[in-house]
């Protein structure tokens, strides 16, 4: 990671520990010297949050990549934070298991980075986010103290849920060095159906019915026409120039369960212009690509803005015209249909992006939802604010920061404090 991408004149020295003990020693040294530290995994989501106000050292955790304990019979695993999600799932696949997470840019993302950002993907519809699968963490605090919370069993004793505290904290409270998760068996069978609709509203009976379906689809994703065109650039997918929105239904489980979801989806999708079951190879490639449709790997692009809207599923059709309305902004989007999370990327000049972001922010707040900037130009983040509305939890996080990192050495300014 080069901090010149955030406007800094020089990239700071990089610490590359290979053990938890070395992480703790590095942070103790930083505390004695008064250095600030920016933890880093793969670096794919450094654009989420504000640029650090100061970075004396980069703490690269990618050498901590061991699987510490896998208990197939208990469906649990404990790993070091630097292991990549794709690498971990390849190992778990040998036992017919997986950690069902698929955040943007996820295959190369590290487990620690996924936890620190709290990002999720289409599989959230069935399995929840990393927060829901997390059962234990080991964390090194700013002064080098190593703490642990949770365990390696799915149910722990009552009390404060320390693991959840660090989920989404962007490395500002402590450095996650190990994590334990509950796993899921891989589905015995999978299938994906694609449905093309002329209007977003026509797709919603299918989406809302899948929300209540007893077969529990793995994912129900909506993709706009621009995003679908981008996917078709590399994948063999159906085409219909008059389809404004595509709905992807991913079913998994026992074969009979998969077949039932498909039959019901096809019956509910009667208004669709296109109804097709995708070949297995195409479906796998498609689900690998969908989470990245709106993502930004550049920490601070000048002409792009990546946002997330949290809405009720039924409100998604109202958001689509606002995303696509401005001709000065080339936009593409996708949404977790049964969850209500809409991801959108806009490309344009700074003023057009500002107006586009303000319009989406205002809509989300007016609907009682929320708005988040996941990546974009630093001045635009400052102008709009990373989150809206401002929630009371912000004050709680600030108090926690003051307790766990009183001198503000970990990722200072990343969350605005």
Distance CA(234)–CA(38), nearest Å, equals 36
**Element (H or E) spanning 275, and its range?**
strand 274-277
* Residues 355/326, Cβ–Cβ less than 8 Å: yes
- Which pTM value belongs to this model? 0.94
Q: Centre a 10 Å sphere on the Cβ of residue 162 and count the other Cβ atoms it contains.
A: 15
pLDDT tens for the chain, 417 residues: list them.
Answer: 445 444 455 579 999 999 999 999 999 999 999 999 999 999 999 999 999 999 999 999 999 999 999 999 999 999 999 999 999 999 999 999 999 999 999 889 999 999 999 999 999 999 999 999 999 999 999 999 999 998 776 655 445 678 889 999 999 999 999 999 999 999 999 999 999 999 999 999 999 999 999 999 999 999 999 999 999 999 999 999 999 999 999 999 999 999 999 999 999 999 999 999 999 999 999 999 999 999 998 888 999 999 999 999 999 999 999 999 888 999 999 999 999 999 999 999 999 999 999 999 999 999 999 999 999 999 999 999 999 998 787 888 889 999 999 999 999 999 988
Q: Domain 1-186 has what CATH class? A: alpha beta
Alpha carbon distance 233, 245 (integer Å): 17
pLDDT at residue 333 in the model:
98
Task: List the beta bridge partners of residue 76.
Answer: 71, 182
Give residue 6's pLDDT: 46
Are 262 and 210 in contact, with CB atoms under 8 Å apart? no
CA distances to 46, 229, 306, 378, 380 from 302, rounded to whole Å, are 15, 24, 12, 9, 9
Residue 299 C-alpha from the chain's centroid = 15
- Dihedral of the CA atoms 141, 144, 145, 147 (nearest 10)? 50
- What pLDDT sits at residue 230? 96
Q: In the chain, count of helices (H) and strands (E)? A: 14, 19
**Residue at token pair 């996924």:** 114
Residue 127 CB coordination number (10 Å): 20
Q: 166: which 2 tokens? A: 């660090």
Dihedral through CA 305, CA 309, CA 315, CA 321, nearest 10?
A: -10
Cα 267 from Cα 359, distance rounded (Å): 36
Return d(Cα 142, Cα 62) in angstroms, integer.
19
CB 414 within 8 A of CB 170: yes
pLDDT of residue 10: 59
Other C-beta atoms closer than 10 Å to the C-beta of 382 total 12
CATH of domain 189-292: 3.30.70.2190
The span from the CA of 38 to the CA of 55, in Å, is 6
Q: Which fold has domain 304-393?
A: Alpha-Beta Plaits (3.30.70)
Predicted local distance difference test score (pLDDT) of residue 51: 94
What is the C-alpha to C-alpha distance for residues 319 and 262, in angstroms, rounded to an integer?
27
Three-class HEC string of 170-234: CCCCCEEEEEEEECEECCCEEEEEEEEECCHHHHHHHHHHHHCCCCCCCEEEEEEHHHHHHHHCC
**Structural domain spans, the chain:** 1-186, 189-292, 304-393
* Domain 189-292 in the same topology as domain 1-186: no
């Amino acid at each position: 990671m080069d901090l010149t991408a955030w406007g800094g004149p020089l990239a700071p020295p990089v610490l590359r520990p290979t053990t938890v003990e070395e992480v703790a020693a590095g942070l103790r040294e930083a505390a004695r010297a008064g250095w600030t530290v920016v933890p880093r995994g793969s670096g794919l989501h450094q654009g989420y949050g504000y640029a650090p106000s100061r970075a004396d050292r980069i703490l690269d955790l990618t050498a901590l990549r061991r699987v510490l304990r896998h208990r197939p019979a208990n469906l649990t695993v404990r790993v070091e934070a630097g292991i990549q999600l794709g690498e971990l799932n390849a190992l778990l696949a040998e036992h017919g298991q997986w950690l069902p997470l698929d955040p943007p840019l996820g295959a190369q993302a590290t487990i620690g980075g996924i936890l620190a950002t709290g990002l999720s993907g289409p599989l959230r519809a069935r399995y929840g986010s990393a927060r829901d699968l997390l059962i234990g963490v080991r964390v090194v605090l700013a002064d080098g103290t190593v703490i642990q919370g949770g365990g390696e069993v799915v149910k722990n004793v009552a009390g404060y849920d320390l693991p959840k505290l660090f989920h989404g904290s962007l490395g500002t409270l402590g450095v996650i060095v190990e994590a334990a998760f509950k796993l899921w068996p891989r589905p015995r069978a999978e299938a994906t159906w694609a449905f093309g609709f002329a209007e977003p509203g026509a797709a919603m009976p299918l989406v809302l019915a899948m929300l209540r379906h007893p077969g529990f689809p793995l994912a129900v994703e909506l993709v706009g026409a621009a995003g679908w065109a981008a996917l078709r650039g590399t994948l063999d997918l159906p085409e219909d120039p008059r389809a404004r929105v595509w709905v992807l239904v991913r079913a998994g489980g026992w074969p009979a369960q998969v077949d039932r979801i498909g039959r019901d989806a096809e019956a509910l999708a009667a208004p669709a212009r296109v109804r097709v079951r995708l070949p297995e190879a195409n479906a796998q490639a498609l689900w690998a690509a969908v989470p990245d449709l709106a993502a930004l790997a550049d920490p601070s692009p000048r002409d792009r803005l990546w946002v997330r809207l949290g809405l009720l599923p039924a409100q998604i059709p109202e958001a689509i015209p606002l995303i696509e309305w401005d001709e000065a902004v080339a936009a593409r989007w996708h949404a977790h249909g049964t969850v209500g999370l809409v991801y959108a990327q806009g490309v344009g000049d700074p003023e057009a992006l500002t107006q586009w972001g303000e319009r989406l922010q205002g809509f989300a707040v007016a609907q009682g939802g929320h708005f988040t900037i996941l990546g974009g130009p630093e001045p635009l983040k400052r102008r709009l604010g990373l989150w809206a509305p401002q929630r009371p939890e912000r004050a709680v996080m600030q108090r926690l920061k003051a307790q766990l990192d009183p001198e503000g050495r970990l990722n200072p300014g990343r969350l605005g404090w």
